[in-house]
A and B are shown apart, each in its own frame.
Chain A
Amino acid sequence: MEQILVQGALLSGLYALIALGFTMIFGVGGVLNLAHAGYVMVAAYMYYMASYVLGLPVAASFVIAIGVSIALAIATYMGWVRRFLHNPTVVFVSTLILALLLGHIMTLAFFRENINVPPVVEGVTPFMGYTFSNNLIAGVIVSWVCIAIVLLFVRRTHMGRAMRALAMDRRGAIISGINPDMVNLTTWAISGALAGVAGIFYGSYTFLVPDMWVLPLIMSFAIVVIGGLGSIEGTLVGAHIVGFMETATVLAISDKLRSVPGLVIMIIVLVLRPKGLFGR
Chain B
Amino acid sequence: MCVLPLFIPLSITRLLVMAAYLAIFAMSWDMMSGYTGYVSFGHPFLIGLAAYVSAFLSHQEGFQPAHLVLPLYITIPLGIAAAVGGGMLFFLPSMRVRGPYFSLVSLAFMEILHRLIIAIRPEYTGGDRGLPALPAVVTGAVPNYYLSLGLMFTVAIGLWYVSRSNVGNVLNAIRMDEDVVEASGISTYRFKRFAFLLSAVTAGLGGAFYTHYLQSISPRRAFSATFLLDIIIAAVIGGMGTITGPIFGGYFLTFILEYLRPYLFGQWRLFAYALVAIFIVIYRPKGFYGIVQDIRSWFQRRRTGGEVYG
Q: Residue B308 at the A interface, CB < 8 A?
A: no
B119 touching A256, Cβ below 8 Å: yes
Interface residues of A in 68-86 (CB under 8 A from B): 80, 84
The chain B residue sitting closest to A101, CB to CB, is: B274
Contact across chains for A94 and B97 when beta carbons are under 8 A apart: no
Q: Cβ of B274 and Cβ of A100 under 8 Å apart?
A: yes
Please, which residue of chain A has its CB at the minimum distance from the CB of B233?
A: A97
B225 at the interface (CB under 8 A from A): yes
Whether A222 is near chain B, meaning CB under 8 Å from some CB there, is yes
Q: Does A211 contact B (CB under 8 A)?
A: yes
For residue A229, CB closer than 8 A to chain B, the reply is yes
Q: Is A259 an interface residue (CB 8 A)?
A: yes
B301 within 8 A of A: no
Name the contact of B37 in the complex, choosing from A89, A214, A222, A264 (C-beta under 8 A): A89
Contacts of A32 in B (CB 8 A): 100
Query: A residues 85-127 with Cβ under 8 Å of B?
Result: 87-90, 92-94, 96-98, 100-101, 104-105, 107-108
User: Which interface residue of A80, A104, A107, A257 has the most chain B CB atoms within 10 A?
Assistant: A104
Q: Mark A169-212, 1 if CB is under 8 A from B, else 0.
A: 00000000000000000000000000000000000000000010
A98 to B271, CA, bound (A): 10
- Whether A254 is near chain B, meaning CB under 8 Å from some CB there, is yes
> How far apart sit A254 and B115, CA to CA, in the bound complex (Å)?
11
Q: Could you tell me if B225 and A211 are in contact, using CB atoms closer than 8 angstroms? A: yes
Please report the C-alpha to C-alpha distance between residue A222 and residue B101 in the assembled complex, in whole angstroms.
Answer: 10
CA distance A90 to B280 in the complex (A): 10
Candidates B112, B226, B236, B285; contact of A263 at CB < 8 Å: B112
B268 CB-CB contact with A under 8 Å:
yes
Shortest CB–CB separation between residue B78 and chain A, in angstroms? 25
In angstroms, Cα B273 to Cα A108, docked, is: 14
Q: Given A101-B274, A260-B116, A266-B105, are A108 and B93 neighbors across the interface (CB < 8 Å)?
A: no
- Please tell me if the beta carbons of A266 and B108 are within 8 angstroms of each other in the complex: yes
**A263 partner residues in chain B, CB cutoff 8 A:** 108, 111-112
CB distance from A24 to the nearest CB of B (A): 15
Interface size on A, residues (CB 8 A): 40
Closest to B118 in A: A256
Q: Does B71 contact A (CB under 8 A)?
A: no
B94 to chain A: which residues have CB within 8 Å? Answer: 267, 270-271
Please, which residues of chain A bring their CB within 8 A of the CB of B281? 90, 93-94, 97
| Interface check A45, CB cutoff 8 A | no
* Residues in chain B near residue A132, CB distance under 8 A: none
Whether, in the assembled complex, A225 has its beta carbon less than 8 Å from a beta carbon of chain B, the answer is yes
Check A225–B275 contact: CB distance below 8 A.
no
A26 contacts which chain B residues (CB < 8 A)? 100
Q: Is B270 an interface residue, CB under 8 A from the partner?
A: yes
User: In the bound complex, do residue A229 and residue B100 qualify as a contact, i.e. CB atoms below 8 Å apart?
Assistant: yes
Q: Are B277 and A89 in contact (CB under 8 A)?
A: no
Give the secondary structure class of A's interface. Answer: helix
A101-B278 in contact given A32-B100, A225-B104, A267-B108 (Cβ < 8 Å): yes
Contact B108 A221 (CB under 8 A): yes
Task: Indicate if the CB atoms of A218 and B111 lie closer than 8 Å.
Answer: yes
B150 at the interface (CB under 8 A from A): no
Determine the residue in chain A with the shortest Cβ distance to B37: A89
Tell me whether B267 is interfacial, beta carbon within 8 Å: yes
Contact B39 A92 (CB under 8 A): yes
Known A-B contacts A108-B271, A263-B111; the reply to A270 vs B236 at CB < 8 A is: no
- A225 and B93 in contact, given A92-B39, A256-B115 (Cβ under 8 angstroms): no
Q: How far is the CA of A191 from the CA of B118 in the complex (A)?
A: 34
| Candidate in B226, B229, B274 with the most chain A CB atoms within 10 angstroms | B274
> Does A274 belong to the interface (CB within 8 Å)?
yes
**CB pair A271 B96 closer than 8 Å:** yes
Give the chain A neighbours of B93 by CB distance below 8 A. Answer: 267, 270-271
B183 within 8 A of A: no
**A residues in contact with B270, CB < 8 Å:** 104
Looking at the complex, which one of A87, A88, A222 makes contact with B108 (CB distance below 8 Å)?
Answer: A222
| Interface mask (B263-299 → A, CB under 8 Å = 1, otherwise 0) | 0000110110011011001100100000000000000
Distance of B118 from chain A, by nearest CB (Å):
5
Beyond A270-B97, A274-B101, whether A90 also contacts B282 by CB under 8 A is: yes
- In the complex, whether B99 has a CB less than 8 A from a CB of chain A is yes
Q: Which 8 A-B pairs have the closest CB atoms?
A: A256-B119, A101-B274, A104-B271, A263-B108, A221-B104, A94-B281, A274-B97, A271-B93
Which B residues lie at the A interface, using CB under 8 A?
37, 39, 41, 93-94, 96-97, 99-101, 103-105, 107-109, 111-112, 115-116, 118-119, 225-226, 229, 232-233, 236, 267-268, 270-271, 274-275, 277-278, 281-282, 285
Can you list 15 residue pairs at the A/B interface with Cβ under 8 Å?
A32-B100, A80-B282, A84-B282, A88-B100, A89-B37, A92-B39, A93-B236, A94-B282, A100-B226, A256-B115, A256-B119, A260-B112, A263-B108, A271-B93, A274-B96
Give the B-binding residues of A (Cβ under 8 A).
Answer: 26, 32, 80, 84, 87-90, 92-94, 96-98, 100-101, 104-105, 107-108, 211, 214, 218, 221-222, 225, 229, 254, 256-260, 263-264, 266-267, 270-271, 274
